[in-house]
């Protein structure tokens, strides 16, 4: 792997958005009864991370400064 592999604004943003989605989904699963609306919201947020990465990469934010 390259020295700066994954250390780009596009990668950090996508991972951050995915993590927020996983946290939302995890909180939904901890509720009794399970909050299905909140669970689906978390799933949608997590799935948005990949297209977001692709858009940011096309905008040039996937280039390493090295």
Residue 16's pLDDT is 97
Domain range for 57 is 24-61
Q: Is residue 12 part of a domain?
A: no
Q: Is residue 9 part of a domain?
A: no
Q: Is residue 55 part of a domain?
A: yes
Per residue of the chain (66 residues), what is the pLDDT tens digit? 556 677 899 999 999 999 999 999 999 999 999 999 999 999 999 999 999 999 999 999 887 655
Question: Model-level pTM?
Answer: 0.85
Q: Is residue 36 part of a domain?
A: yes
Q: Is residue 2 part of a domain?
A: no
Q: Is residue 4 part of a domain?
A: no
The answer to whether residues 29 and 15 touch, using CB atoms and an 8 Å cutoff, is no
- For tokens 């596009």, the residue is 10
The answer to whether residues 23 and 29 touch, using CB atoms and an 8 Å cutoff, is no
Overall number of domains in the chain: 1
């Amino acid at each position: 792997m390259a020295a700066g592999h994954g250390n780009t604004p596009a990668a950090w943003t996508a991972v951050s958005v995915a993590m927020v989605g996983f946290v939302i989904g995890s909180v939904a699963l901890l509720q009794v009864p399970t909050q299905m609306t909140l669970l689906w919201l978390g799933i949608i947020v997590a799935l948005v991370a990949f297209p977001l990465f692709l858009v940011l990469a096309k905008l040039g934010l996937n280039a390493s400064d090295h």
